[in-house]
Amino acid sequence: MMSTDAQAAIARLRDSGLLKSKGLVGGKWVDSYDGKTVQVQNPATGDVIANVPCMGKRETDDAISSAYNTFYSWSKRTASERSKCLRKWYDLIVSHKEDLALLITLEQGKPLKEALGEVSYGAAFIEFFAEEAKRIYGDIIPPTSSDRRLFVLKQPVGVVGAITPWNFPLAMITRKVGPALACGCTVIVKPSEYTPLTALAAADLALQAGIPPGALNVVMGNAPDIGDSLLQSTQVRKITFTGSTAVGKKLMAGSANTVKKVSLELGGNAPCIVFDDADLDVAVKGSLAAKFRNSGQTCVCANRILVQEGIYDEFANALTKAVQNLQVGNGLVEGVVQGPLINEAAVEKVEKFVNDATSKGANVILGGKRHSLGMTFYEPTILGNVNSEMLVSREEVFGPVAPLLPFKTEEEAIKIANDTNAGLAAYIFTKSIPRSWRVSEALEYGLVGVNEGLISTEVAPFGGAKQSGLGREGSKYGIDEYLELKYVCMGNLEA
Ligand code: ADP
């Protein structure tokens, strides 16, 4: 039974039809074949918002068949036709942005304003790739003999399996599905079981936009079973994944058997380096945004804040003032900027990292414990005197904890920053242009923000170096991940 609180929240939907609680296979809304379901809960209250089907191998196999059968007709449509469908989908997402944001806040916890921001960001990938659909050019290569002509065609890779996490319930899907559909691929999406409702609502809007049944399927439930079905199928030609490094490695290994194309967006361990010559206000504002967005639950969140000795005290004080003002609570409440963590395990991880740090000599400048609101709320926290040996520096904390690591020289900062297997985002704060270049080039990361804490956009390539992943999403580069190059040699033209 849904609680009255959950019912009241759902009643705020302008279009109640967007609350879907079935999977989408071949354009049909379906239950799991054995009738089993999984609960979707609001992390801020523990309320059950919906029960969705607990699907597995059989449902996924059917979704793959449907995507495979639709591939032929969808990929044969002109780029302009596919572009128009995507554009319509974009328009529908934008016209339903309040409802989609409400679903995001309900199932994921982020504040409503931030959820609205995610809808705009997520929609932008569909708009961008609707435009990009028409710009998938091939090449003509000057031949090596006069009776030959050499061409390069770019063709869609085929059926795509897209596995996505809970921290951006819409945007992690649109930035995969947008380019895939744009170039003619068909897709099976497996959203996180924590946040399937946004995915299902977005898929409903895709159907309304005229994206044909079977081009976009959504299955959820038993993640390893669904994953195995996608991995084992010879019809699935590409796996695209955003999530933990551990699961990403499993999917990469599992793709080897059928030699699928693989793109992975995995965990980060973002350094945020504040140099003595930084503009203090810019550094505080940027670090705050880079650290506390989504309560620290993004893979580009600043994980380690490296602060040069000369500015350390001043920066720690200013950051503390700013973090003290962050209002924690249910994301539906006006003024709240820090929602709950996704679940109990997430809070336990944060507690473990904070305890490890304090036991090794770090001091708690602010917070450092569960919030009095209970549930999975944790106090926005700042730790001082952190060093590279502590867990909080070695691994992604994925919570509202800002560890400050003092350093002396630029060289030392670069060494500390690169001393990790991760390589997704990095941030630097300095007023020096030569230093901006030097450090940006030295950082072994896929994204670098200079004097800026929020840098993701659909027009720029997003992706990691080292064990943070393979491939790039968004931008003109993002569509290459869904394309196969074909070289055609025409010979004997003068015969
Ligand atoms: P997180 O820690 O962010 O939840 P996960 O990597 O566990 O990251 O989850 C990301 C996505 O991967 C989710 O949709 C999850 O259900 C899915 N997933 C988890 N385990 C597997 C698996 N063995 N095979 C396929 N997908 C999986």
Residue located nearest, by CA, to atom 13 of ligand 1: 192
Predicted confidence at residue 7, as pLDDT, reads 83
Amino acid residing at 420: T
HSE toward the beta carbon, residue 120, CA cutoff 13 A:
8
Q: Where are the domains of the chain?
A: 4-266+469-485, 270-450
Residue 158 has pLDDT above 90, yes or no: yes
Helix (H) or strand (E) holding 126, with range, is: helix 112-132
- Per residue in 391-415, pLDDT (tens digit) is 999 999 999 999 999 999 999 999 9
- Per residue in 107-125, pLDDT (tens digit) is 999 999 999 999 999 999 9
Predicted confidence at residue 1, as pLDDT, reads 58
Ligand 1 pocket test, candidate residues 247, 299, 468, most atoms within 8 A of CB: 247
- For 494, residues 6+ apart whose C-beta sits below 8 A from its C-beta are 146, 147
Predicted confidence at residue 4, as pLDDT, reads 77
Structure tokens given for 130: 């609707």
**Section 243-269 average pLDDT:** 98
Q: At what angle do helices 79-95 and 171-183 cross, to 10 degrees?
A: 160
DSSP letter for each residue of 256-268: GGGT-EEEEE---
Q: Show which residues are catalytic.
A: 265
Residue 297 has pLDDT above 90, yes or no: yes
Structure tokens given for 260: 């699928």
Query: How far is the C-alpha of 244 from the C-alpha of 266, rounded, in Å?
Result: 5
Query: How far is the C-alpha of 268 from the C-alpha of 427, rounded, in Å?
Result: 12
Predicted confidence at residue 487, as pLDDT, reads 98
Q: Ligand 1 centroid vs 206 CA: distance in angstroms?
A: 24
Residue located nearest, by CA, to atom 23 of ligand 1: 224
- Per residue in 305-343, pLDDT (tens digit) is 999 999 999 999 999 999 999 999 999 999 999 999 999
Residue located nearest, by CA, to atom 7 of ligand 1: 244
Predicted confidence at residue 266, as pLDDT, reads 98
Ligand 1 pocket test, candidate residues 54, 57, 107, 163, most atoms within 8 A of CB: 163
Q: Strands of 139-141's sheet, edge to edge?
A: 139-141, 149-156, 483-490
Q: Work out the burial of residue 173: count CB atoms within 10 Å of its CB; fewer than 13 is exposed, 13-18 middle, 19 or more buried.
A: buried
- Per residue in 69-111, pLDDT (tens digit) is 999 999 999 999 999 999 999 999 999 999 999 999 999 999 9
**Statement: 270-450 belongs to CATH 3.40.1190.20:** no
| Ligand 1 pocket residues where CB is under 6 Å | 163-166, 190, 192-193, 223-224, 227, 243-244, 247, 250
Structure tokens given for 171: 């945007």
Predicted confidence at residue 8, as pLDDT, reads 82
% helix / strand / coil in the chain, to the nearest 5? Answer: 45, 20, 35
**Statement: 4-266+469-485 belongs to CATH 3.40.605.10:** yes
Q: Ligand 1 centroid vs 387 CA: distance in angstroms?
A: 30
Predicted confidence at residue 3, as pLDDT, reads 73
**Section 246-254 average pLDDT:** 98
Reported as a pLDDT band with limits 50, 70 and 90, residue 10 is: confident
Predicted confidence at residue 9, as pLDDT, reads 79
Reported as a pLDDT band with limits 50, 70 and 90, residue 6 is: confident
pTM of the model: 0.98
Predicted confidence at residue 227, as pLDDT, reads 98
